Structure 1
Amino acid sequence: MPQQQTSSPGQGQRFDWWAAPAAASASTASGRPNPGTRSAVTRPGRTVPTQPAPAVPAVPTVPAAAPTVPTPAPAAVPAAAPAGATDSTEVYRTVQASEAFQDIRRSYRSFVFPVSSAFLAWYLAYVAAQAAAPDLMRTPVAGPFNVAWLLGLLQFASTFLLTWLYARNARTKRDRAALGLRWDTQDQLR
């Protein structure tokens, strides 16, 4: 079975993959190499990149007799809001003020704030115990595990437990009401 040959760059082809495509197209479009871009010199069996030409700073040509005075930009004119934008803003404000939205928000806050406070207090108690009572934290519990290891692993367990509780709370108390409110809002926007 014949082997498939891979193509290699031939005479005059570019092989330097790191060169910018815009610079490559600019140098090949005119037929002359573009100064300041990398070009490749092809030798039999190998491609060797050449160094870019040193950049020559451009000297701006400004007439000496004509002083440049900046022209003030025209004042920005606020665009008129389309009629639909005012209606959607009013719809969202009405929804936000509705009793259903406030119930969803109250339910969210009544779960998240106490649970976040309890978890933060639990974490800070663990850190404070590490700093204030190192002898207590070194007390062995079972084999190589001490109180510090046990409390540290309980930090992970409590994180997963709180995540599960949050998802269950959202699913049972808020998701249906929020979805209903969303559909009502979408109907009002049509």
Structure 2
Amino acid sequence: MTSIDLDKDGPAPRRAPTAEEFAAVHESPQFQELRSRLRRFVFPMTALFLFWYLSYVLLGAYAHDFMATEVFGNINAGLLLGLGQFLSTFVITAVYVRFANRELDPRAAAIRDELEEGRA
């Protein structure tokens, strides 16, 4: 089975890789490096976020006085930390997108191109 990618130079035929080719790529050093880079980013970032989230929940459950501390006006520490949860989610997403665009996507594209061209 073949598929066709259309680009500005016209159709570029690409063939569907076999299961054996996928298995070979899975064992390749390039794919292992791609997985390693992903894991080195995702696991620490996940642990950091879960620690931050769990800290917020525990503070909310057990540190009522701290969370009720007024920072300015009717704004208290709990509200600011809660908004910080949203902000940190957006920051982590932006950092991951930048990391993926710079580190992961080019490597994945090279592996995919190699596989679809039959050089795997």
Q: Is the pair's TM-score, using the shorter chain for normalization, greater than 0.5?
A: yes
1:159 aligns with 2:89: yes
How far 1:174 moved relative to its partner? 1.0
How far 1:142 moved relative to its partner? 1.1
1:104 aligns with 2:34: yes
The 1-side partners of 2:35 and 2:20 are apart by: 19
How far 1:123 moved relative to its partner? 0.3
Larger radius of gyration: 1
Pick from 118, 121, 124: which aligns with 2:51? 121
Q: TM-score, normalised by structure 1?
A: 0.53
- Identity of aligned pairs, percent? 41
Alignment of 1:1-190 (within 5 A): 88-188=18-118
How far 1:188 moved relative to its partner? 1.1
4+ residue runs over 4 A deviation? none
The 1-side partners of 2:87 and 2:19 are apart by: 43
Query: Residue 18 of structure 2 aligns to which amino acid in structure 1?
Result: S
How far 1:115 moved relative to its partner? 0.2
1:13 alignment counterpart: none
How far 1:118 moved relative to its partner? 0.4
Q: TM-score, normalised by structure 2?
A: 0.83
Where structure 1 has 5 or more consecutive residues not aligned to the other structure, the ranges are 1-84
How far 1:89 moved relative to its partner? 1.2
Where structure 2 has 5 or more consecutive residues not aligned to the other structure, the ranges are 1-15
Q: Secondary structure at the match of 1:141?
A: strand
Greater share of strand: 2
1:75 alignment counterpart: none
The 1-side partners of 2:115 and 2:95 are apart by: 29
